[in-house]
């Protein structure tokens, strides 16, 4: 029979992780429990759901969001809504109410699906992840986190603790858009997030991230370079052109490469258009 | 009209409403089934092949598992429907005809063990080339059915024109409009998956499950199990949606649980996993329609020529009837003296396609309403005005030469739309995120024959009983199933009105073949119109008998002897319920069984496909406003109005719910839904990828119920269940065309399709 | 493993694998069949229950996670014989047809109303909010219109 441990604190949690690397680390279950009755029965469960040390939002120079924070909590947190809009917006479009009540930041980041809804936002906001193990804690810039299709820099004995998200300054505007298969409860076909630092309407710098167009969420360096120094409007054309050769989306059961490419260009161009 | 109509016409709450909102209603998987084993199906992974062997993994512990194959079929290994062509289990040496065809069955005490056992069954199939599209089937790259792969064909001719005369009409026409239209397969997505349970008691097999047609299952199981009628008992459990998807498929499931239950010596239950349900069960027939129409200098349609080809999937099942309905609606509800409609449904190596609301009509309605749009554009005429001008009205004749008489709601439904339409929204707009929006409006006008085609209802001879039980309660006994459409409530209202009693004194009993007569299947928008009518007659007959008995036995009734339908004296002494109770105390049960009598004058020739195809038609018009997001190419339905002539709304709230449900299924089919196959296998077989509209996708639906009474329907009612499905998809296509200036002739009109159409846009 | 939790106001204890889905424990171990399975993947919402004050898909909750927690299912919406406002409204407005999605919708809507998520909204705003908040509950029968009517009616009743 499957064993079960509900750690009382993070120390117990990382100890359990080290002792039982084959046990399932479970929080909201919105990925790991899909079709549970057809999955391999886990040897054990380390249940992190509502572990207090992982459920918090701390507002300082950056906003630190505990890995156990649910998308409902992210969506409704005043500071996140006001200062990290892409994250709040993505939270609102993850699944639907029931999924938002259980899905966690740690889960989305740990599963690292190419269509993970919060991931382009974390990239564009240049978040930094904090992970813990019995060996201690370390930080990994989110832009270095994803190493391939559903693979990350998380070591086998580590747990995700939090995301530290710098607060964009007054000169930086952020945008986000998800194009799903329908209006709600949908998987992304194309997704984009951007943080654009402006001087008037000239672009000083930008971070542009896309989801669902590669095997992981990606920053588009070609676009970021192309728009530097451009004015909004002009930058839209430059961004569109740069994106053309920068991504190789695929055909799958939900959409086509052609569509993804074209809509990604439209989204990115819209990000760089005057409002 | 009967002045003492009782609750008819009132939106009385559903009889089963409280059970449903409290979770007390028990669907198949909710029923107590102590000791029941779970059944799981082992399925083919190839679309076409020969089953060479079925091996069992020797390393698996089979001691608690029953395995059944074709060799264990007690009677005949086919599912009897129109023909006996579909096997329940592919026999060794037999041909596998589609992916996910059943090859073997397992049953075990737990679901987990049953799933594990199914994985340990190893079928060996020698693959053959598959036929995976209509043209390959017509070219007979492989012989799947007969010599030409054509399950069925029809030819409808109006106006006695020969082919040469038809071509001449096209040649001299002022305008010829031609198009090829494609409609996609569609998954019914009832939220309760297919479910069935079987139990043997000696030689008798008891089946209970989620179904629309207990007597279809009964008929199929008599042959499959080689039983007499009395030795198969089929009962419907509360059914969580059907939409046609539980018309024929439950017979397959019944065969499977019956065979397992017999072999295991246990009660066996099968509840499909969602993925399996999407992959293995029936879908709406994909259809290619080539439609030509010729108009003269006055803008009158002078000839229509339609060629319909449907993909029937691997077995004949219901395809001939789906094709029939598609063909009979293909020329549309418009005046035209010369019509030719050819229809074929062909065999392919897909899981058999089957019944889904509309049943062939949505497919051909899409084509003819797109054609009407194109004609309007060619003539420079407004889309609404042209339909108003050319629509069939009372006195006109249809494509089969049926002269329309009563209950033709053309002008009423068109007027209803016109009244609420208002000016179209601004052509160009902007979303909150800055994306440009492009708007358009589309109209459709359409019809739907109610009930079975031609002499179908006469052949069905549907029966229903209204009775006083020995306990002095009123009972309605019919095999019509409530699958959400409110049959129980409607029958209660009709019976209460006819008996003149409180609806609370009436029970519509659960349909079980041991206890109810065969009313015909719960399909074809016939439940209220046909069976409801039989219920009404039975109730009136029962009332007359009770009143007669009451008078003869000193218990006087309301209006005296034999006062069938005529409002004579005022109400007096004894309510019918009291007479009934007195009767029951003295004599026991009194049951009045009535058989459907078709209205007079329905002449239909099956051989030439001419005459009165349906006793009456429903009529409808629909308006759709769309907004296309020019960044993402998504089509948002901003407004949808349906005006539907239902004859009489026995329960307006239920009628509204039916219209709205069918409408959203059609809107979903138009822009969101699709069944995607890869090598004959459903590639999007889960709810994540085989999507249907959510609350957020649905617009605020506007519904206008129009009543042009049908004299032979109960209180004037005719069918409503299917008609709302037929029109809206074409209205969406018309609206998107209006927005973008180019045509959309295939479904779904997905964002990918809209994006690809960009070079054809004409935005002025 | 022994798992103890409060369910519909009463303490329950079950002996089960912690991996067993809450949905299966409700339906099989406790024979509370009001909560339905429509998809097994958290897409349809027919399995919606309230856990610690949040509406969640019970097909995605492992029963071990429920130890010490508080649950409400459709069976717990009524107070004695009195149905929850949303249940009464669904009946009155014709918002249930085949009924298989209805318990999930009733639970989710009751949660939305009881948490005041529709409070203060005018009719149009309330309808839009209902559509967004209930988007995780799929209905195939109704086209949603009469369900939205019912939830708005119920919300108004509860506020008054």
Cross-chain residue pair B23–C135, CB shorter than 8 Å: no
Single out the residue of B575, B578, B536 nearest to residue B712, CA to CA. Answer: B536
Number of CB atoms found within 10 A of residue A89's CB: 20
The crossing angle, in degrees rounded to 10, of helices B487-499 and B532-552 is: 30
Contact B494, B508 (CB under 8 A): no
Q: How large is the average pLDDT for residues B545-554?
A: 92
Q: What is the mean pLDDT of residues A27-41?
A: 97
How many angstroms separate the most distant Cα atoms in chain A?
63
CATH of the domain at B311: 3.30.365.10
Q: Are both C104 and C134 inside the same structural domain?
A: yes
Which residue from C43, C96, C137 is facing B17, i.e. has the nearest CB? C96
Q: Across residues C87-106, what is the average pLDDT?
A: 98
Is B653 inside any structural domain?
A: yes
Q: How many residues does chain C have?
A: 160
pLDDT over 80 at B556, yes or no: no
Chain A adjacent subunits, 3+ CB pairs under 8 A: B, C
- Stretch B661-679: mean pLDDT: 98
ipTM associated with this complex: 0.98
Is the pLDDT reported for residue B600 higher than 90? no
B206 plus B325 within the same structural domain: no
Find chain A residues with C-beta within 8 A of C136's C-beta: 95-99, 184-185
Contact B274 C39 (CB under 8 A): yes
Q: How far is CA B171 from the centre of its chain?
A: 39
Q: How confident is the model at residue B601, as a pLDDT?
A: 80
Whether C7 and C46 map to the same domain: the answer is yes
3-class DSSP assignment, residue B673: coil
Task: Provide the Cα torsion C30, A70, A92, C130; round to 10°.
Answer: 30
What pLDDT does residue B565 have? 46
pTM for the complete prediction?
A: 0.97
Instruction: Please report the pLDDT score of residue B542 as a whole number.
Output: 98
Residues B573 and B468 in one domain: yes
To the nearest whole Å, the CA of A25 is away from the closest chain C CA by: 12
Is 60 exceeded by the pLDDT of residue C78? yes
Together in a domain, B206 and B352? no
Q: How many angstroms separate the CA of residue C93 from the nearest CA in chain A? A: 24
Residues of B in contact with C36 (CB under 8 A): 27, 191-192, 240
CATH number at residue C151: 1.10.150.120
The DSSP output letter for A40 is P
Residues 6+ apart with CB under 8 A from A239: A208, A223, A226, A227, A265, A268, A269, A271, A272
Neighbours of B743 (CB within 10 A): 18
C69 lies in the same domain as C6: yes
Three-state SS for B241? coil
Q: Are residues B523 and B437 in the same domain?
A: no
Q: What share of chain A is helix, strand, coil (3-state, %, to 5)?
A: 30, 30, 40
Q: Is the pLDDT of residue B595 over 80?
A: yes
Residues C49 and C95 in one domain: no
Domain count, chain C: 2
Burial class from Cβ neighbours inside 10 Å (0-12, 13-18, 19+) for residue A50 reads: middle
> B689 touching A, CB under 8 A?
yes
Contacts of C57 in chain A (CB under 8 A): 30, 98-99, 102
pLDDT band at B161; cut points 50, 70, 90: confident
Band (pLDDT 50/70/90 cuts) for residue B169 is very high
Least confident residue range of A208-212, B489-493, C155-159: C155-159
Which of C76, C109, C142 corresponds to the end of one domain?
C76
Quick one: pLDDT at residue B6? Answer: 59
Task: Enumerate residues 6+ apart whose C-beta is below 8 A from C153.
Answer: C89, C92, C93
Among the partner-chain residues C17, C56, C64, the one whose CB lies closest to the CB of A98 is C56
Segment A198-210 mean pLDDT = 97
Contact B22 C77 (CB under 8 A): yes
Do β-strands A62-66 and A57-59 pair in parallel, antiparallel, or remain unpaired? antiparallel
Mean pLDDT of B595-602: 90
Minimal Cβ distance to A101: which of C19, C43, C54: C54
The pLDDT mean for chain B works out to 95
Decide if B683 and A253 are in contact by the 8 Å CB cutoff: yes
Enumerate the residues of chain C whose CB falls inside 8 A of the CB of residue B701.
Answer: 143-145
Under an 8 A CB cutoff, do A270 and B756 touch?
Answer: no
**B751 and chain A in contact, CB less than 8 A:** yes
Tokens of B542: 């029962």
Pair (C66, C106) in one structural domain: no
Position B8 in a domain: no
Tell whether B554 is covered by a domain. yes
Contact B200, B173 (CB under 8 A): no
Tens-digit pLDDT profile for residues B89-127: 999 999 999 999 999 999 999 999 999 999 999 999 999
B492 and B626 assigned to the same domain: no
**Are residue B226 and residue B196 in the same domain, yes or no?**
yes
Asked whether residue B619 falls in the same domain as residue B708, the answer is: yes
> Is B604 among the domain residues?
no
- Same domain flag for C98 and C72: no
C70 shares a domain with C7: yes
- Give the closest-approach CA distance of C71 to chain A in angstroms: 14
pLDDT for position A246: 96
Interface with B, mutate which of C140, C151, C152 (most B CBs under 10 A): C140
Whether residue B123 sits in one domain with residue B146: no
What would the pLDDT profile of C55-64 be if each residue is shown by its tens digit? Answer: 999 999 999 9
- Asked if B543 and B560 touch (Cβ cutoff 8 Å), the reply is no
Do residues B226 and B293 both lie within one domain? Answer: no
Answer yes or no: do B660 and C144 touch at CB < 8 A. yes
- Say whether residue B573 is in contact with chain C using an 8 A CB cutoff: no
**Which domain covers residue C96, as residue numbers?**
85-159
Does residue C109 sit in the same domain as residue C146?
yes
On whether both B653 and B746 belong to a single domain, the answer is yes
The answer, for A103 touching chain C at a CB cutoff of 8 Å, is no
Determine which of B12, B115, B191 to mutate to test the interface with C (most C C-beta atoms within 10 Å): B191
Residue A50 touches partner C, C-beta closer than 8 Å:
yes
The residue among A98, A181, A196, A232 with the most chain B CBs within 10 A of its CB, best to mutate, is A181
Same-domain status, C57 and C21: yes
Question: What is the C-alpha separation between B235 and B671, in angstroms, rounded?
Answer: 37
Query: Domain tally for chain B?
Result: 4
Interface of C with A (CB under 8 A): 1, 17-19, 21, 24, 40-43, 45, 48, 52, 54-57, 59-62, 64-65, 67, 108, 112, 132-138
SS (H, E, C) B201-239: ECCEEEEEECCCCHHHHHHHHHHHHCCCHHHEEEEECEC
B 117-146 residues with CB < 8 A to C:
none
Same domain, C41 and C93: no
DSSP assigned state of B525: T
Task: Examine the pLDDT at B382 and tell me if it is beyond 60.
Answer: yes
Residue at which a domain ends, from B535, B561, B595: B595
Q: Searching chain A, which residue's CA lies closest to the CA of residue B697?
A: A183
pLDDT greater than 80 at residue B736: yes
Domain boundary among C36, C59, C76: C76
**Contact yes or no for B115 and A38 at CB 8 A:** yes
Interface test with C, best of A98, A100, A178, A185 (most C CBs within 10 A): A98
pLDDT of residue B764: 79
The pLDDT of B559-576, averaged and rounded, is: 54
Is the confidence at residue B567, as pLDDT, over 60?
Answer: no
Tell me, yes or no, whether C67 and C100 share the same domain. Answer: no
Tell me which chain A residues have a C-beta less than 8 angstroms from the C-beta of C133: 97
Q: Does any domain span residue B408?
A: yes
Across the interface, which of B688, B689, B696 has its CB nearest the CB of A183? B696
**How far is A227 from chain C, CA to nearest CA, in Å?**
36
Q: How many CB atoms lie within 10 A of CB B166?
A: 20
Q: How is residue B496 written in tokens?
A: 């209460």
Chain C: residue whose CA lies nearest to B190: C140
Please report the pLDDT score of residue B571 as a whole number: 45
The predicted-structure confidence for B266-291, as pLDDT tens digits, reads as follows 999 999 999 999 999 999 999 999 99
C neighbour chains, 3+ CB pairs within 8 Å: A, B
**In a shared domain, residues B464 and B585:** yes
Decide if A36 and C56 are in contact by the 8 Å CB cutoff. no
* Structure-model confidence comparison of residues B538 and B764, the more confident one: B538
C-alpha B8/C-alpha B714 separation (Å) is 10
Q: What is the CATH number of the domain that holds C27?
A: 3.10.20.30
Q: Which pLDDT score, from 0 to 100, does residue B563 have?
A: 41
Q: How far is the alpha carbon of C145 from chain A, nearest alpha carbon, in Å?
A: 17
Across A108-136, average pLDDT: 98
- Other C-beta atoms lying within 10 Å of the C-beta of residue A194: 32
pLDDT in tens, B430-450: 999 899 999 999 999 999 999
pLDDT band at C111 (very low <50, low <70, confident <90, very high): very high
Do C88 and C72 touch, CB atoms closer than 8 A? no
| Statement to judge: residues C90 and C150 lie in one domain | yes
Angle, CA B491 vertex, CA B487 and CA B493 arms, to 5°:
120
Q: How many of the other CB atoms lie within 10 Å of CB of A24?
A: 20
Residues 6+ apart with CB under 8 A from C89: C95, C149, C150, C151, C153, C154, C157
C90 pLDDT higher than 80? yes
| Residues B439 and B463 grouped into a single domain | no
pLDDT of B629 higher than 60: yes
Q: What percent of chain B has pLDDT over 70?
A: 97
Place of tokens 């709406």: B284
Peptide bond into B748 cis (omega under 30): yes
User: What is the interface size between A and C, counted as CB pairs within 8 Å?
Assistant: 98
Residues B10-16 have a mean pLDDT of: 96
Residue B608 falls inside a structural domain = no
Using 50, 70 and 90 to split pLDDT, how confident is the model at A232? very high
CB proximity B727 to C under 8 Å = no
* Chain A residues whose C-beta sits inside 8 Å of any chain B C-beta: 35, 37-38, 96, 175, 177, 179, 181-187, 189-190, 253-256, 258-259, 262-263, 266-267, 270, 273, 275
SS3 C76: helix
Band of pLDDT at residue B147, cut at 50, 70 and 90: very high
pLDDT digits (tens, 9 = 90+) for B491-502: 999 999 999 999
Chain A residues lying within 8 Å of B756, measured CB to CB: 258-259
Q: How far away is chain B from the Cα of A131, in angstroms, using its nearest Cα? A: 31
Contacting residues of B for C73, CB less than 8 Å apart = 23
CB-based contact B191 C139, cutoff 8 Å = yes
pLDDT at B568 over 70: no
Q: pLDDT grade, residue B572 (50/70/90)?
A: low
Does the pLDDT of residue A85 top 90, yes or no? yes
Chain B (299-338) residues lying within 8 Å, Cβ to Cβ, of chain A: none
- Chain A interface test: which of B627, B751, B757 (most A C-beta within 10 Å): B751
Q: Residue B196: its pLDDT value, please?
A: 98
Nearest-Cα residue of chain C relative to residue A72 = C54
- pLDDT tens, residue by residue, B63-76: 999 999 999 999 99
Span B709-721, mean pLDDT?
97
Option in A35, A181, A190 nearest B691 (CB): A181
B60 lies in which domain range?
A: 31-128+191-241+246-280
Query: B115 at the A interface (CB within 8 A)?
Result: yes
| Structure token pair of residue B283 | 């879908």
End position of a domain, from candidates C52, C76, C100: C76
């Amino acid at each position: 029979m499957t064993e079960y441990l509900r750690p009382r604190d993070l120390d117990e949690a990382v100890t359990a992780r080290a002792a039982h690397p084959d046990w399932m680390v479970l929080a909201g279950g919105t990925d790991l429990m899909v079709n549970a009755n057809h999955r391999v029965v886990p040897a054990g469960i380390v249940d992190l759901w509502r572990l207090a040390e992982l459920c918090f939002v701390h507002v300082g120079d950056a906003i630190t969001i505990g890995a156990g924070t649910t998308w409902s909590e992210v969506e409704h947190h005043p500071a996140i809504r006001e200062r990290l809009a892409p994250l709040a917006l993505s939270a609102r479009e993850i699944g639907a109410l029931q999924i938002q009540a259980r899905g966690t930041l740690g889960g989305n980041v740990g599963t690292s699906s190419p269509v993970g809804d919060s991931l382009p936002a974390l990239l564009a906001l240049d978040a930094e992840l904090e992970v813990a193990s019995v060996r201690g804690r370390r930080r990994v810039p989110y832009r270095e986190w994803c190493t391939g299709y559903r693979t990350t820099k998380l070591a086998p004995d580590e747990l995700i603790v939090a995301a530290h998200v710098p607060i964009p300054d007054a000169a930086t505007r952020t945008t986000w858009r998800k194009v799903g298969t329908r209006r709600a409860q949908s998987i992304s076909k194309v997704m984009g997030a951007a943080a654009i630092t402006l001087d008037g309407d000239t672009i000083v710098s930008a971070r542009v991230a896309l989801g669902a167009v590669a095997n992981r969420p990606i920053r588009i360096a070609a676009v970021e370079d192309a728009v530097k120094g451009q004015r909004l409007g002009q930058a839209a054309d430059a961004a569109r052109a740069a994106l053309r050769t920068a991504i190789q989306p695929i055909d799958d059961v939900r959409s086509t490469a052609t569509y993804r490419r074209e809509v990604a260009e439209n989204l990115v161009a819209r990000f760089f258009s005057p409002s | 009209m009967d002045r003492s109509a009782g609750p008819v016409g009132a939106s009385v709450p559903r009889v089963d409403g409280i059970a449903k909102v409290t979770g007390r209603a028990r669907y198949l998987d909710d029923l107590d089934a102590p000791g029941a084993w779970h059944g799981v199906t082992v399925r083919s992974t190839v679309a076409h092949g020969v089953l060479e062997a079925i091996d069992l993994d020797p390393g698996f512990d089979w001691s608690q598992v029953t395995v059944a194959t074709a060799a264990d079929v007690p009677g005949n290994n086919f599912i009897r429907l129109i023909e006996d062509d579909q096997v329940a289990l592919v026999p060794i040496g037999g041909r596998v005809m589609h992916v996910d065809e059943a090859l073997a069955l397992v049953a075990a005490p737990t679901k987990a063990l049953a799933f594990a056992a199914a994985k340990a069954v190893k079928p060996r199939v020698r693959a053959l080339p598959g036929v995976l599209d209509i043209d390959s089937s017509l070219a007979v790259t492989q012989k799947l059915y007969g010599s030409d792969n054509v399950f069925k064909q029809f030819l409808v001719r109006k106006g006695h024109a020969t082919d040469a005369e038809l071509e001449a009409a096209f040649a001299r026409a002022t305008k010829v409009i031609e198009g090829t239209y494609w409609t996609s397969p569609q998954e019914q997505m009832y939220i309760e998956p297919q479910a069935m349970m079987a139990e043997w008691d000696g030689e008798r097999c008891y089946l209970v499950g989620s179904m629309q047609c207990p007597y279809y299952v009964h008929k199929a199981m008599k042959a499959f199990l080689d039983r007499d009628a009395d030795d198969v008992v089929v009962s419907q459990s509360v059914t969580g949606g059907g939409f046609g998807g539980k018309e024929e498929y439950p017979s397959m499931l019944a065969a499977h649980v019956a065979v397992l239950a017999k072999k295991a010596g246990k009660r066996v239950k099968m509840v499909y996993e969602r993925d399996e349900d999407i992959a293995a069960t029936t879908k709406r027939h994909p259809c290619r329609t080539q439609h030509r129409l010729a108009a003269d200098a006055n803008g009158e349609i002078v000839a229509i020529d339609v060629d319909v080809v449907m993909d029937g999937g691997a077995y004949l099942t219901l395809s001939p009837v789906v094709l029939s309905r598609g063909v009979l609606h293909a020329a549309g509800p418009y005046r035209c003296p010369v019509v030719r409609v050819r229809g074929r449904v062909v065999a392919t190596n897909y899981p058999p396609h089957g019944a889904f609301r509309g049943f062939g009509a949505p497919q051909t309605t899409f084509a003819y309403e797109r054609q009407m749009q194109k004609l309007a554009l060619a003539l420079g005429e407004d889309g609404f005005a042209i339909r108003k001008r050319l629509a069939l009205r009372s006195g006109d004749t249809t494509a089969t030469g049926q002269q329309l008489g009563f209950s033709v709601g053309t002008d009423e439904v068109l007027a209803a739309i016109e009244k609420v339409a208002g000016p179209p929204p601004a052509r160009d707009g902007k979303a909150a995120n800055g994306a440009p929006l492009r708007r358009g409006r589309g109209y459709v006008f359409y019809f739907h024959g109610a009930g079975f085609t031609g002499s179908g209802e006469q052949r069905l001879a549907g029966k229903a009983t209204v009775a006083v039980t020995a306990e002095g309660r009123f009972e309605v006994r019919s095999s019509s199933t409530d699958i959400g459409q409110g049959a129980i409530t409607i029958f209660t209202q009709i019976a209460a009105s006819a008996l003149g009693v409180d609806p609370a004194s009436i029970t519509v009993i659960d349909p079980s073949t041991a206890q109810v007569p065969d009313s015909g299947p719960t399909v074809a928008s016939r439940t209220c119109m046909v069976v409801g009518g039989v219920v009404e007659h039975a109730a009136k007959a029962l009332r007359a008998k009770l009143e007669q008995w009451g008078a003869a036995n000193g218990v006087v009734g309301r209006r005296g002897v034999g006062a069938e339908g005529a409002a004579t004296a005022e109400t007096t002494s004894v309510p019918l319920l009291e007479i009934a109770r007195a009767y029951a105390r003295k004599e026991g049960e009194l049951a009045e069984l009535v058989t459907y009598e078709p209205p007079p004058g329905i002449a239909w020739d099956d051989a030439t496909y001419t005459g009165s195809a349906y006793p009456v038609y429903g009529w409808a018009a629909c308006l759709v406003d769309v907004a296309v997001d020019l960044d993402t190419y998504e089509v948002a339905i901003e407004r949808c109005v349906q005006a539907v002539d239902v004859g009489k709304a026995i329960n307006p709230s239920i009628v509204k719910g039916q219209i709205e449900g069918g409408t959203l299924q059609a809107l979903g089919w138009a822009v969101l839904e699709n069944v995607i196959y890869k090598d004959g296998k459903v590639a999007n077989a889960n709810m994540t990828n085989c999507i249907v509209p959510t609350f957020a996708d649905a617009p605020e639906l506007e519904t206008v119920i129009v009543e042009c009474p049908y004299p032979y329907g109960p209180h004037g009612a005719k069918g409503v269940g299917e008609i709302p499905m037929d029109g809206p998809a074409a209205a969406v296509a018309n609206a998107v065309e209006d927005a973008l200036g180019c045509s959309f002739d295939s479904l779904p009109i997905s964002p990918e399709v809209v994006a690809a159409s960009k070079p054809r846009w004409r935005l002025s | 493993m022994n798992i103890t939790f409060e369910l519909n106001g009463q303490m329950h204890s079950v002996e089960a694998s912690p991996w067993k889905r809450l949905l299966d424990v409700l339906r099989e171990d406790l024979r509370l069949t009001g909560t339905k399975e429509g998809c097994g993947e958290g897409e349809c919402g027919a399995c919606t229950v309230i856990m610690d004050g949040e509406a969640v898909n019970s097909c995605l909750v492992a029963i071990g996670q429920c130890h010490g927690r508080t649950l409400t299912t459709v069976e717990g919406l009524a107070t004695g014989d009195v149905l929850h406002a949303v249940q009464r409204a669904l009946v009155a407005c014709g918002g249930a047809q085949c009924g298989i999605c209805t318990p999930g919708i009733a639970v989710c809507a009751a949660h939305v109303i009881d948490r005041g998520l529709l409070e203060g909204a005018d009719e149009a705003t309330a309808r839009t909010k209902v559509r967004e908040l209930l988007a995780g509950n799929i209905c195939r029968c109704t086209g949603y219109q009469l369900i939205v009517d019912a939830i708005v009616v119920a919300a108004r009743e509860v506020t008054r």
